[in-house]
Amino acid sequence: DTEVTQTPKHLVMGMTNKKSLKCEQHMGHRAMYWYKQKAKKPPELMFVYSYEKLSINESVPSRFSPECPNSSLLNLHLHALQPEDSALYLCASSGKARDKNSPLHFGNGTRLTVT
Amino acid sequence: ELKVEQNPLFLSMQEGKNYTIYCNYSTTSDRLYWYRQDPGKSLESLFVLLSNGAVKQEGRLMASLDTKARLSTLHITAAVHDLSATYFCAVAYAGTASKLTFGTGTRLQVTL
């Protein structure tokens, strides 16, 4: 079982809908990430939060809006998505204090379909 | 821009055979990771390689890192069906703790 929990597991939404993806970890990690993965492709970095502050935004369209309410939670708010945004969205966390080399721990992902 | 390439992209091998997956990257890095992903599942961390010449082994898998050649290898010894999965290497920009770039992935199929 993964220690990074993502909800929902599956999401189908229309192009005019607003929805949110949620991610939670209780490992004391200080960095949290959103990745997007299309079928048979590697994960692509979207956002990184470090100590609850946005540190990396990989030029992601504004229809994706991240939020980090506290060190354990990470949200991704979705609005006016396009069908090409359909993908597996993976949350990850890493880095207890003084352990910058630790690997990313991934959640099981949310499979998003935009209709 | 950091580029990370793996080869082969697809590997079909018989149980009991040995093979190596290669991961090449384009710029200086101080950390390299290997992950496994089963179909429809999340990514599982396998190895963390932090220095030139680093070698890590777990069961039938052994990973190594040559930072001068910008090359990492994942060697599979006496493959078994349970190793069937997609394997990704991931490389961090030197000095950038949080930004990982994943390789293209190698889909391994071990046949009986």
Q: How far apart are CA B93 and CA B107, in angstroms?
A: 25
Q: Do B99 and A100 touch (CB under 8 A)?
A: no
Q: Are strands B43-49 and B61-66 parallel, antiparallel or unpaired?
A: unpaired
Q: Do B33 and A43 touch (CB under 8 A)?
A: no
Q: Which residues of B touch chain A, with CB atoms under 8 Å apart?
A: 31, 33, 35, 41-45, 48, 50, 88, 90, 97-105, 107
Let me know: does B69 contact B89? Beta carbons within 8 Å: no
Taking residue A58's Cβ as centre, other Cβ atoms within 10 Å add up to 13
Average pLDDT of span B70-81: 96
Taking residue B49's Cβ as centre, other Cβ atoms within 10 Å add up to 24
Q: Do A42 and B33 touch (CB under 8 A)?
A: no
From the number of C-beta atoms within 10 Å of its C-beta (0-12, 13-18, 19+), residue B95 rates as: exposed
Average pLDDT of span B56-80: 96
Report whether pLDDT(B112) > 70. yes
Average pLDDT of span B10-19: 95
- Parts of chain A with a pLDDT under 50: none
Q: How far apart are CA B59 and CA A82, in angstroms?
A: 43
Average pLDDT value over all residues in chain B: 92
Q: How far apart are CA A65 and CA B91, in angstroms?
A: 26
pLDDT of residue A100: 67
Largest CA distance in chain A: 44
pLDDT of residue A2: 61
Q: Which residues in chain A are contacts of B100 at CB distance < 8 A?
A: 45, 104
pLDDT of residue B97: 56
Q: Which residues in chain A are contacts of B48 at CB distance < 8 A?
A: 101-103
Q: How far apart are CA B108 and CA B46, in angstroms?
A: 15
Q: How far apart are CA A91 and CA A106, in angstroms?
A: 6
Report whether pLDDT(B85) > 80. yes
Report whether pLDDT(B30) > 80. no
With a CB cutoff of 8 Å and minimum separation 6, the contacts of B42 are: A2, A90, A106, A107, A108, A109
Let me know: does A19 contact A63? Beta carbons within 8 Å: no
With a CB cutoff of 8 Å and minimum separation 6, the contacts of B49 are: B31, B32, B33, B34, B56, B63, B64, B65, B72
Q: Do B102 and A95 touch (CB under 8 A)?
A: no
- Which of B41, B43, B98 is facing A50, going by the closest CB pair? B98
- Proportion of chain B above pLDDT 70, given as a percent: 96
